C-alpha cells in the first residue's frame, strides 16, 4: 500500500516538474521575443552636381552717384558679351546697390562731405554645365584687364535628383542596420525579427573626401562632386 502511494507521489512529482519546465520555457521564450536591439545603419553615394550658379558684382567707385551709374551701365554690355562667348546665356541682372563714403577730418572724425559713391551691379549666372561655371569662377577676374572691377560673391553647385537619392539611401541604411544587428546577434544564437521603429538621421552632403558631420546636417554647395550620407537608427525585435 505504501509502495503504491510512494510511486503515485513520484509520478505526480514528475508531472509537476515537467509542467514547471514547460511553463519556464514558455515564459523564457516570451521574454526573449520582447527583447529588442537598437542599431545605427548608414549608406552613402557619390554624385556629381548637374547645375551651378555664380553670383558676382560689377563695382564702381566714383565722385558721385551719376558717374558711378554711367560707368557700370557702360561696362554691363561688355560683361554680358564675355559671358555669352563662354556659352553662358542664363544671365540675371539684379537691382543696383550703392552707398556714400564720407571724408575724414585730420583728427580722424568722419565729416558730412562725400568722398565718393560706391555702386555695385549684382549679376547671377546659371548653367547646367557645371564645368562652364567652374571655368567662369576662375577666369572672370580677367575682366580687370578691361578696366572692369569684379567681385565674386559665391559659386554654388547643386544636384537636382537629391530627393530621390535620399529615399534610396534611407532604404540602404536600414538594410545596413539589419546586417549589423544580425552580425551582433549571431554570437548569441538569436536572429533579428520585425522592425519596431525607424528614426531617420540628418543627411550629410559633403565634399567627397570630407569627414565632417553635424548634428544639424551639412549641405555643401561649394563642390561639384559630393558625398551624400544617410543614417537610420532602427529598433529590431529579437527572436
Burial track 122-136 (b if 16+ CB lie within 10 A, e otherwise): bbebbbeebebbbeb
Residues 6+ apart with CB under 8 A from 73: none
Domains held by the chain: number: 2
Radius of gyration from C-alpha coordinates of the chain:
35
Which domain covers residue 219, as residue numbers? 31-48+161-238
Assess whether 153 and 224 both reside in one domain. Answer: no
Does residue 2 have a pLDDT over 70? no
Report which of 44, 51, 52 is spatially closest to residue 227, judged by C-alpha positions. Answer: 44
pLDDT at 187: 85
Q: Is 160 helix (H, G, I), strand (E, B) or coil?
A: coil
**Would you place residue 188 in the very low, low, confident or very high pLDDT band (cuts 50, 70, 90)?**
confident
User: In which residue are the cell numbers 562667348 written?
Assistant: 85
- Residue 24, classed as helix, strand or coil, is helix
Is residue 24 one of the residues assigned to a domain? no
134/203 same-domain check? no
Residue 24 has pLDDT above 50, yes or no: no
Q: Average pLDDT over the chain, rounded to whole?
A: 88
Residue 34 pLDDT grade (very low, low, confident, very high; cuts 50, 70, 90): low
pLDDT band per the 50, 70, 90 thresholds, residue 119:
very high
Listing DSSP states for 71-112 in one string gives HHHHHHHHHHHHHHHTT--EEEE---EEEEEEEE-TTS-EEE
In a domain, 131, yes or no: yes
Amino acid at each position: 500500500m505504501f509502495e503504491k502511494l510512494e510511486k503515485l507521489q513520484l509520478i505526480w512529482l514528475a508531472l509537476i516538474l515537467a509542467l514547471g519546465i514547460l511553463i519556464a520555457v514558455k515564459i523564457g521564450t516570451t521574454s526573449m521575443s520582447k527583447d529588442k536591439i537598437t542599431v545605427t545603419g548608414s549608406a552613402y553615394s557619390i554624385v556629381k552636381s548637374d547645375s551651378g550658379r555664380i553670383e558676382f558684382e560689377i563695382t564702381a567707385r566714383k565722385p558721385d552717384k551719376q558717374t558711378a551709374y554711367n560707368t557700370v551701365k557702360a561696362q554691363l554690355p561688355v560683361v554680358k558679351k564675355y559671358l555669352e562667348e563662354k556659352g553662358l546665356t542664363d544671365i540675371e541682372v539684379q537691382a543696383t546697390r550703392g552707398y556714400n563714403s564720407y571724408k575724414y577730418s585730420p583728427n580722424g572724425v568722419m565729416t558730412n562731405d562725400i568722398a565718393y559713391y560706391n555702386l555695385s551691379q549684382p549679376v547671377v549666372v546659371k548653367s547646367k554645365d557645371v564645368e562652364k561655371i567652374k571655368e567662369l569662377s576662375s577666369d572672370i577676374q580677367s575682366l580687370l584687364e578691361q578696366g572692369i572691377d569684379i567681385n565674386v560673391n559665391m559659386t554654388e553647385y547643386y544636384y537636382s535628383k537629391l530627393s530621390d537619392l535620399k529615399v534610396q539611401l534611407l532604404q540602404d541604411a536600414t538594410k545596413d542596420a539589419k546586417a549589423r544587428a544580425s552580425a551582433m546577434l549571431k554570437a548569441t544564437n538569436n536572429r533579428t525579427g520585425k522592425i519596431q521603429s525607424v528614426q531617420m538621421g540628418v543627411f550629410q552632403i559633403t565634399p567627397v573626401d570630407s569627414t565632417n558631420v553635424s548634428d544639424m546636417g551639412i549641405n555643401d554647395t561649394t563642390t561639384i562632386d559630393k558625398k551624400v550620407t544617410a543614417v537610420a537608427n532602427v529598433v529590431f525585435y529579437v527572436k
